[in-house]
């Protein structure tokens, strides 16, 4: 079954303390946090189901993402274990993965055919690779959440904030994406390379706020709350 978020990515935000893998989910139609299975069970509608006919999944894009899953997860694991500047190969893997996530989750994806979606990925990945990255770490009990639309692009003009766009080369553009409950990536043109920082309360609220901004379907976390 097609999913909104890749299962491997979503699994990183699951509750590690339970006997079965569950994740806490907030859906606007329910109005409160509820535990949910990571994978569909039975015939009921799953919160992560990709069931919007206006935004069809693209098999070739999904195949690219699947081929990168192991490598991107390994890069994230290395960052969790020991924050350090990324070698070029790791940076390229993460930029490719981020670009795929951006295109598949974009609000504009319904207006694209698969050829255009693949071209969008190929154009976006080099831009992400060139930007400077701040890797934010949330120190427990603080944590980052994810959502049905976690890849966020903030433009210099707030009213232009949207998904992937040709304006990504604008100097004031910022991109944020939670990677795990402990790590979030913040891409900017204001620096080069990687900078590792601990997320204080203001940074935590800002990053989680951006993750929530376009989350029309759900929020998801390993605990039933948004920190702060």
Is residue 52 domain-resident?
A: yes
Is residue 204 domain-resident?
A: yes
Interval 4-25: pLDDT, tens: 899 899 999 997 765 667 899 9
Number of domains the chain is built from: 1
Is residue 228 domain-resident?
A: no
Interval 114-148: pLDDT, tens: 888 888 899 999 999 999 999 999 999 999 999 99
Distances (CA, A) of 195 to 79, 128, 202, 207: 12, 15, 17, 16
What is the CB-side half-sphere exposure of residue 119 using CA atoms within 13 A? 7
CA-angle at 226, arms to 187 and 22, nearest 5°: 100
Interval 86-118: pLDDT, tens: 999 999 999 999 999 998 877 665 667 888 888
Q: Which domain holds residue 158?
A: 7-221
Give the β-pairing of 174-178 and 33-37. Answer: unpaired
Interval 175-223: pLDDT, tens: 999 999 999 999 999 998 999 999 999 999 999 999 999 898 999 999 9
Is residue 140 domain-resident?
A: yes
Is residue 163 domain-resident?
A: yes
Is residue 137 domain-resident?
A: yes
């Amino acid at each position: 079954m097609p999913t909104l978020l890749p299962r491997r990515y979503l699994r990183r935000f699951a509750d590690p303390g339970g006997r079965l893998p569950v994740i806490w989910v907030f859906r606007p139609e329910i109005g409160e946090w509820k535990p949910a299975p990571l994978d569909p069970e039975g015939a009921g509608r799953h919160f992560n189901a990709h069931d919007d006919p206006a935004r069809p999944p693209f098999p070739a894009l999904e195949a690219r993402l699947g081929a990168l899953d192991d490598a991107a997860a390994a890069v994230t694991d290395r960052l969790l274990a020991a924050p350090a500047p990324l070698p070029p190969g790791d940076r390229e893997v993460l930029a490719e993965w981020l670009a795929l996530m951006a295109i598949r989750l974009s609000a504009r994806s319904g207006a694209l055919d698969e050829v255009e979606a693949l071209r969008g990925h190929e154009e976006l990945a080099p831009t992400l690779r060139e930007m400077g990255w701040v890797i934010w770490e949330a120190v427990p009990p603080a944590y980052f959440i994810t959502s049905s639309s976690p890849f966020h692009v903030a433009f210099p003009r707030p009213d232009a904030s949207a998904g992937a766009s040709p304006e990504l080369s604008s100097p004031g553009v910022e991109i944020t994406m939670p990677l795990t409950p402990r790590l979030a990536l913040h891409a900017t043109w204001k620096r080069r390379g990687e900078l590792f920082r601990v997320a204080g309360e203001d940074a935590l609220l800002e990053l989680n706020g951006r993750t929530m901004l376009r989350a029309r379907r759900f929020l998801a976390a390993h605990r039933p709350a948004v920190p702060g």
